[in-house]
Amino acid sequence: MRGLIILRMSINTCHKKETMRKPLIIICLLAVLCADVMAQEAVAPLGYRPPTSHDEYGSPNTASRAVKKGTVATLPFFEDFTSDTFYPDTTLWLDRKVYINNTLCKDQISRGVATFDAMDEDGLPYEKTNNTVLRYADSLTSQKLDLSAYSVGDSVYLSFFYQPEGNGFAPEMGDSLMLYFKHTNGWTRVWRTAGTGVHDFKQVMILLNQATFFHNEFQFRFVNKASISNSDDVWSVDYIRLDANRSMSDTVLSDVAYTVEPTFLLNDYTYMPYHQYLANAGGERSNQHEVVIRNNNPTSVNVNYGYNATELTTSTPLATGSNSVSIAPLGTAKVSFSVYSSTISNPVNNDLVYYENKYYIQSGAGTGSLLNDTIIKKQFFHNYLAYDDGTPEKSYYLKLFPTLPGKLAIEYKLNVPDTLKGIAIYFGRQVPLAYQKYFSLTVYKDIAYVGGSDVLLYQEDFLIPNYLSHNRFWYYKFQKPVVLPAGTFYIGTIQPALSGSDSLYFGLDVNRVGTNHVFYNVLNNWEGSTVDGAVMMRPLFGEFFPSVIKGVVPDKPRNYGVSPNPAKGFIRINYNSSDEARYTITDMLGRVRKEGATTNDAQIDIKDFVPGVYLVYFTIDGQTAPPQKIIKQ
């Protein structure tokens, strides 16, 4: 219907012009129709920050939430954000609002940057109600520095590199990145740049040219101003240096460093079950694994580098290698090793196998960070297939027609028969959240694309999206496992008609290289996706599921009610059973405000809730019913 409406509007528009001729009307109609059909895929801001652990099975973020007080002794100050956590180093920084990562930037100076956006330290938007406001957002404030022994004559400079957009969305002209210095009487802005599209990292040199900067509690602070309607507007900052006896020409970084993330060991998948890998190891392995080294020196440098590989679960050495390369001034080299064929004894199907490749620089000119001389790539084999690296940068969605369902299908392939137990999905965050948007999960043996036909193997209906799960993926365990033969299959979703043109958002890993394996259907026929990246939807095969699995709604959800509504001091959940049930109350951004056990008609205290709208989830006998909206007065 939407397409017809657009055509009719185009005809009316054309007829308004008395001189418009029939051939031009036809061209007008065809242009509008083609543009509408071609625009059924779209990308959007992620809407919240990725998880606060690097991977599903690695160590959690070890950065302490406690802010360390005190004074950094004195100069030099150096930070290149080569970190194993997602928060700033508390020995150097006071706040935790920026996001330390190595995926939202492009062509970084060394691995790791600090990213500024419109999300707070918990990864949620600063502005939750007004989508048009422009406001101050992230900040990065240094610990106190004792500069009392220095003066203007000591030529103290602060330098840093910055890049807008990167792999996120570009900050607009009204957005900005700013730098402030703290003098004896307060803060003053010393630098600002307006929003723009992506460019290479640029270096900025700022002279401390006022006597009031030289005291024993000097600090500097980066701040960004963001337009909340594009909440992923991104700035990245790297390689901050503050020292004396510098000049405007002191822009050389005497350093050799690893930069972008190394490649995976696999040819197409990023992760897969180990028994599926062993069944066709030669076909699944990539020919080589690659890593990028940057020479930040103004002269050519000969770099000796190497790697060692270990299976960490059993501490089994797998391979080593070394080589050397000459890198041009301010240039990069993509160096590679042949992928090793070493394996370990076949574990029980879907047990975790954990390869680690540690790359290191053995020698090379430079006096910069030693930490960026090493970079680690983790290669998991567990109970799922994946094309993504676990970290999204954007959201992917379909532009749906009101009267037609929207279908998504992602192609996978098994080397040996297996049993599909469920699907994990990383949902992009929407405002308001999509808790009211029902969808179905599907498994196909084939789809009607390029001579194929739809062969539906399984469908599970009345599901709802969620965001607060293991590694931010939401796990849907099938009510009935699906036995699959070796070969190609598809997993996907169906969003029903009348579900709204702003369909479900799915995490999109834009660092995916190669075919995205995604197909969509919004006009009753399947089309191959033209969006670069991997839609983050994974088939699950083993028994491993996080304990927080929720979201599956039974075919006949158990009736329940919440009263009073609106409520002031308490609510009651009424249901037809004497069994104990579980409840979860979230705000409209998905944050859990209260959860616990309850019985029929028992009071639940909400008097401390801020007035507003909340969602109540009700679970009994392992089944979660659709959420109910309540108003706290």
The per-residue pLDDT for range 423-451, each reduced to its tens digit, is 999 998 876 666 667 899 999 999 999 99
Could you please state the CATH topology (level 3) that the domain comprising 71-251 is classified under: Jelly Rolls (2.60.120)
pLDDT value at position 577?
82
pLDDT value at position 499?
58
The per-residue pLDDT for range 107-125, each reduced to its tens digit, is 999 999 999 998 888 777 7
Return phi, psi of residue 397, to 5°. Answer: -155, 165
Distance of CA 604 to the CA centre of its chain: 35
Q: What single-letter amino acid sits at 469?
A: S
Least confident stretch, 46-55, 167-176, 510-519: 46-55
Could you please state the CATH topology (level 3) that the domain comprising 560-632 is classified under: Immunoglobulin-like (2.60.40)
3-state secondary structure 296-363: CCCCCEEEEEEEEEEECCCCEEEEEEEEEEEECCCCEEEEEEECCCCCCCCCCCCCCEEEEEEEEEEE
Which CATH architecture describes the domain 264-381?
Sandwich (2.60)
Which of these, 451, 396, 398, lies nearest to 38 by C-alpha position?
398
* 394-540 CATH choice from 2.115.10, 1.20.272, 2.60.120, 3.40.470: 2.60.120
pLDDT value at position 37?
46
C-alpha distances in Å from residue 364, one per residue of 208, 327, 359, 369, 561: 32, 10, 14, 12, 68
Inter-residue contact 178 to 521 (CB < 8 Å): no
Return phi, psi of residue 385, to 5°. Answer: -105, 145
The per-residue pLDDT for range 200-221, each reduced to its tens digit, is 999 999 999 999 999 999 999 9
* Pair of tokens at residue 128: 């939750």
pLDDT interval class at 396 (50, 70, 90): very high
Q: Do domains 394-540 and 560-632 have the same CATH topology?
A: no
pLDDT interval class at 83 (50, 70, 90): confident
Question: CA–CA separation, 583 vs 572, rounded Å?
Answer: 11
Inter-residue contact 420 to 484 (CB < 8 Å): yes
HSE of 507 in the Cβ direction (CA atoms, 13 Å)? 29
* Pair of tokens at residue 176: 């900005």
- For the residues 21-37, what does the mean pLDDT come to? 39
pLDDT of 20 > 90? The answer is no
pLDDT of 526 > 90? The answer is yes
599 vs 179, more confident: 179
Least confident stretch, 164-168, 316-320, 497-501: 497-501
pLDDT value at position 612?
84
- β partners of residue 375: 359
pLDDT interval class at 466 (50, 70, 90): confident
The per-residue pLDDT for range 487-514, each reduced to its tens digit, is 999 999 999 876 554 689 999 999 998 8
Kindly state the percentage of the chain with pLDDT values over 70: 82
Query: What's the predicted TM-score (pTM) here?
Result: 0.79
Inter-residue contact 115 to 49 (CB < 8 Å): no
- For the residues 545-567, what does the mean pLDDT come to? 62
pLDDT of 537 > 90? The answer is yes
pLDDT of 592 > 90? The answer is no
The per-residue pLDDT for range 224-277, each reduced to its tens digit, is 998 765 556 899 999 999 999 999 999 988 899 999 999 999 999 999 999 999
Return phi, psi of residue 481, to 5°. Answer: -60, 155
3-state secondary structure 612-624: EEEEEEEEECCEE
Question: CA–CA separation, 545 vs 542, rounded Å?
Answer: 8
Mean pLDDT value across the chain: 84
Question: CA–CA separation, 14 vs 1, rounded Å?
Answer: 20
* Pair of tokens at residue 464: 């709802």
Question: CA–CA separation, 248 vs 426, rounded Å?
Answer: 46
pLDDT interval class at 61 (50, 70, 90): very low
Inter-residue contact 258 to 371 (CB < 8 Å): no
Least confident stretch, 409-418, 423-432, 519-528, 592-601: 423-432
Which of these, 427, 86, 46, 510, lies nearest to 234 by C-alpha position?
46
* Pair of tokens at residue 496: 């029903």
Inter-residue contact 507 to 388 (CB < 8 Å): yes
- For the residues 388-405, what does the mean pLDDT come to? 90
* Pair of tokens at residue 36: 């509408």
Q: What single-letter amino acid sits at 456?
A: L
Domain range summary for the chain, segments of one domain joined by +: 2-39, 71-251, 264-381, 394-540, 560-632
Question: CA–CA separation, 464 vs 557, rounded Å?
Answer: 13
- For the residues 457-475, what does the mean pLDDT come to? 80
pLDDT value at position 590?
63
pLDDT of 1 > 70? The answer is no
* Pair of tokens at residue 56: 């599903």
pLDDT value at position 131?
63
Question: CA–CA separation, 612 vs 15, rounded Å?
Answer: 49
Inter-residue contact 241 to 77 (CB < 8 Å): yes
pLDDT interval class at 164 (50, 70, 90): very high
* Pair of tokens at residue 197: 């599209």
- For the residues 612-627, what does the mean pLDDT come to? 76
HSE of 460 in the Cβ direction (CA atoms, 13 Å)? 20
First to last CA, the chain: 41
